[in-house]
Structure 1
Amino acid sequence: MIYPIVLFGDPVLKKKASDIPHGEDVKELVQDMFDTMYAASGVGLAAPQIGKSIRLFVVDDNPMMEEGEQGMKKAFINPEIIEEDGDDWAFEEGCLSIPGIRGEVERPEIVKIKYYDEDWNEHIEEFDDIHARVIQHEYDHIEGILFTDYLTPFKKRLLKGKLASISKGKVDADYRVKVPKK
């Protein structure tokens, strides 16, 4: 099932998500989230972006990889960032919930994260570079943080009108969206 993507302005995007009860069957939801992400040409999708305030996100950063580099496709259930390390580096980010807007965000280059996969196997892994960036972006979603929260006050002022339009459903997206209720 392909879900509509919740747009900027919906309260679910600013709420800290709840843990999923251990052992709950999430395989179908994980597959639906991958299908939804691919339909929107994304590389990551968090459950709040489909209107579900639960601690789950999926990532497939293969489209961002250079020739010969190995991408990552994973589901992260009830994740917890244990450590962020390395130098902060800037990269222009976008978000399926904020179509047409991009902004430079600084993030640490390494992340160590504990999470469960869709079979409830526990993992503790370290990721770097673009893998870490995508994980940090999606992790922020389950914490109620959007990439626009990191932008400078000046950049936020410049985007105020565009963000207001997005929250009213005035977007140019080639995927289904869900407009925030007023």
Structure 2
Amino acid sequence: MKHTISVLVEDEAGVLTRIAGLFARRGFNIESLAVGPTEQVGVSRIIMVVPGDDDTIEQLTKQLHKLINVIKVTDITKIPCVERELMLVKVSTNSANRGELLQVAQVFRARVVDIAEDSLTLEVVGDPGKMVAIISMVSKFGIKEISRTGKIALTRESGVNTEYLKSLETKV
């Protein structure tokens, strides 16, 4: 199972290196990593997506707590969250299929950020599932390049679990 870990750290040199080193020493892969400043000056939030079972992730979070400059570690996998990614995808196109590609972009609310004779670059923002879906739809045109930010997430103060709501919609 993939776990989403939120880590608040003091904004100091070497913090990310220590965290990455901890994962490397234990043979764990970080599938997604996003780091940025928070609302509090001098504090950064790191969002990591890490594969592993519950016991292993619990052990990793305990180890993260012991690191210098780590303020708070939370496994937010099972907590209602708002999750987003940003992706730029450059897709092959020509005059014959450009209209179809633009329709796909419109369905996914993707923005065209660059256009050339033989390609179109789209900016896509959404949850990780949306990224997978649009990649599968545009792959038939031929993907030239992809750049993704990795997942960022914040817990929902409302406590509304959108995954639960989606499951109700599919039953109706």
Query: Given the two structures, how large is their TM-score scaled by the length of structure 2?
Result: 0.24
Larger Rg: 2
Higher relative contact order (CA 8 A, sep 6+): 1
